Amino acid sequence: MTLIKLPDKQAYRQAYARPFAAGEVTVDASPAEVYRVVSDPIAMAGFAEEFYRARWIRGATGAAVGNWFAGSNRNGWHRWVTHAQVTEAEPGRRFAYRVRFVVPISRWEYEITPEGAGCRLTVRNWLRAPRWFVPIAILITGQPDRAGTNTVNIATTLGRLKAHLESRRASA
């Protein structure tokens, strides 16, 4: 049996100080169109890899600062549910939320920048879990390389989102 160890303190501090996963894509769609999708966790679950279902909770019905949603996640046979609170909701510009699972886990930010006839969508993910929780998170998610997994999953999600938005534009 292999024990899951706490991450090195110095490496953990560095990972905590900056985004530990990110990605970006240029999309042939307006910032408003992109924002409508990225600020809707129910829609985003259809493009994501681990995150597969969402619902607004605590009386929320849409993206506004302070609103909460629950997200269901899976990795193989591992299943877990998180709660997220919207921290930024600027239509056509930025959508961000912080994720909790008993303790703070992460922060996700979607930044939309106009570019040419479309826009650039940048996704950043910050680690926010306490260092002592990392081995527990690995057991829950089955994923020891969270930064690597999130980087790959962000790229997959962005590719699917781009294809969806651009196919809607082509058929319009």
**How far is residue 117 from each of residues 32, 44, 65, 92, measured CA to CA in Å?**
12, 23, 29, 14
User: For residue 1, what pLDDT is reported?
Assistant: 43
Amino acid at 78: H
**pTM, rounded to two decimals:** 0.90
pLDDT digits (tens), the chain, 172 positions:
445 555 667 766 766 678 889 999 999 999 999 999 999 999 999 999 999 999 999 999 999 999 999 999 999 999 999 999 999 999 999 999 999 998 999 999 999 999 999 999 999 999 999 989 989 999 999 999 999 999 999 999 999 999 999 997 666 5
- The count of domains in the chain is 1
CB-based contact 74:58 (threshold 8 Å) = no
pLDDT number for residue 14: 67
- CA–CA gap between residue 33 and residue 168 (Å, rounded): 10
Note whether residue 13 is domain-resident: no
- Whole-angstrom CA distances from 33 to 93, 106, 137, 166, 168 are 11, 26, 34, 10, 10
Q: Would you say residue 5 lies in a domain? A: no
- Whether 14 maps to a domain, the answer reads no
Which pLDDT value is given to residue 17?
74
8 in any annotated domain:
no
Q: Domain with 95 in it: what CATH number?
A: 3.30.530.20
Q: Which range marks the domain in which residue 77 is found?
A: 20-171
